[in-house]
Amino acid sequence: MYIPTFDDMVAAHERIKPYIHRTPVLTSSYLNELSGCEIFFKCENFQKAGAFKVRGASNAVFALSDIEASKGVCTHSSGNHALSLSYAANRRGISCNVVMPRTAPEAKKSAVRGYGGIITECEPSTTAREEVFAEVQAKTGGNFVHPYNDPRVIAGQGTCSRELLEQMEGFGRTLDMIVAPIGGGGMISGTCLTLSKLAPDVQIIASEPEQADDAYRSFKAGHLISDDAPDTIADGLKVPLKDLTWHFVKNHVTDILTASEIEIIDSMKLTWQRMKIIIEPSCAVPLATILKNPEVFAGKRVGVVITGGNVDLAKLPWI
């Protein structure tokens, strides 16, 4: 198991700069007052392909040699990694095959197709996804870019918190903690990779849906626990940790907090109403856990990663 290094993250940042946005950091005086802390939202919903996952996907795609790239790339993903990899492959002019659960949001599937990605659907479980993927990979021979358990991907995701730390200078503030959602653990691992070197005193809090709390239970048990097919409105957070992301979580994460489905939906709606930005359910989990645990966050300066904004607008959870 190759564990990505800080230098890998720095190299990734150079490599992907032409293909990603330096996304803005937004604040809301209303949410600051409501939460009792000072929140700095790193808005990866404004990222290319609508999600932070384009960082890791672009790093993997553009790190390939020409010979490797010639066979294209492939992956399985609930959505944002699929469309991010399709975007990156499209920018490099290579093919991209993705296995997606048939229940993935239509907005994500159609965005994959829009970038030229080829979708094979599977049943919505980790087992089904990996089985169908094995067939697709055998057929195409493409380079497998795992959605999170891949050092190239984690190094790419680490560029997000590096930018956030730099952007905090514009606010004349330093952070006490960063809160990010946890599903497979790619964003959290990248955050650990970057902060352990650049800002080791900044706490790292992972936020997870109660209904898909394998990371929470792993963290409390001290060993890796996986669920096969959890069900949550936070469609990007259904996947389990794997060995590489577990390595980062167990060594660097301060705590994992969970939120219920209704708390996630309320926080999503509140963000839409007050910040006027479209965020997907997954990235409402951090705000939900902040509002639920005021004693943890009181008076702190808190970075929150808004991981993506790809939502089926015809199917909103509060309607």
Using the rule CB under 8 A, is 91 a contact of a copy of itself?
no
Residue 213 or 280 with smaller CB distance to a copy of itself: 280
- What amino acid occupies position 14? E
C-alpha to C-alpha distance for 153 and 142, rounded to whole angstroms:
16
Q: Is residue 65 within the footprint of a copy of itself (CB under 8 A)?
A: no
DSSP per position, 242-264 = -HHHHHHHHHH--EEEEE-HHHH
Cβ at position 313, least distance to a copy of itself in Å: 6
In the block, tokens 């095959």 appear at 97
Q: Point out which span in 157-165, 204-212, 213-221, 265-273 binds a copy of itself (CB under 8 A).
A: 265-273
Nearer residue to a copy of itself within complex by CB, 198 or 278: 278
Minimum distance of a copy of itself from residue 181's CB (angstroms): 17
- Residue 32: Cβ within 10 Å count: 14
Which one of the spans 42-50, 60-68, 200-208, 292-300 is the region binding a copy of itself (CB under 8 A)? 42-50
Nearer of residues 24 and 141 to a copy of itself, judged by Cβ:
24
Supply the minimum distance, in Å, between the C-beta of residue 19 and a copy of itself: 12
**Longest Cα separation, the chain:** 55
The yes or no reply on residue 33 touching a copy of itself (CB under 8 A) is no
Q: What is the DSSP letter of 228?
A: S
Q: Which of 92, 197, 252, 269 binds a copy of itself (CB under 8 A)?
A: 269
Buried b (16+ CB within 10 A) or exposed e, 170-194: eeeeebbbbbbbbbbbbbbbbbbbb
Helix (H, G, I), strand (E, B) or coil at 99: strand
Neighbouring residues of 148: CB distance < 8 A, sequence distance ≥ 6: 56, 81, 154, 157, 183, 184, 185, 186, 189, 239, 242, 245
For a copy of itself, the closer CB: 223 or 276:
276
Tell me how many degrees the CA angle 180-149-190 measures, rounded to the nearest 5. 40
Tell me: does residue 67 bind a copy of itself (CB under 8 A): no
Of 36 and 317, which CB lies nearer to a copy of itself in the complex structure?
A: 317
Residue 221 near residue 189, CB atoms below 8 Å: no
Closest to a copy of itself by CB, 45 vs 143, is: 45
Interface pattern 99-128 for a copy of itself (x via CB under 8 A): --------x---------------------
Q: Which residues bind a copy of itself (CB under 8 A)?
A: 24, 26, 45-46, 50, 107, 269, 272-273, 275-279, 309, 313-314, 316, 318-319
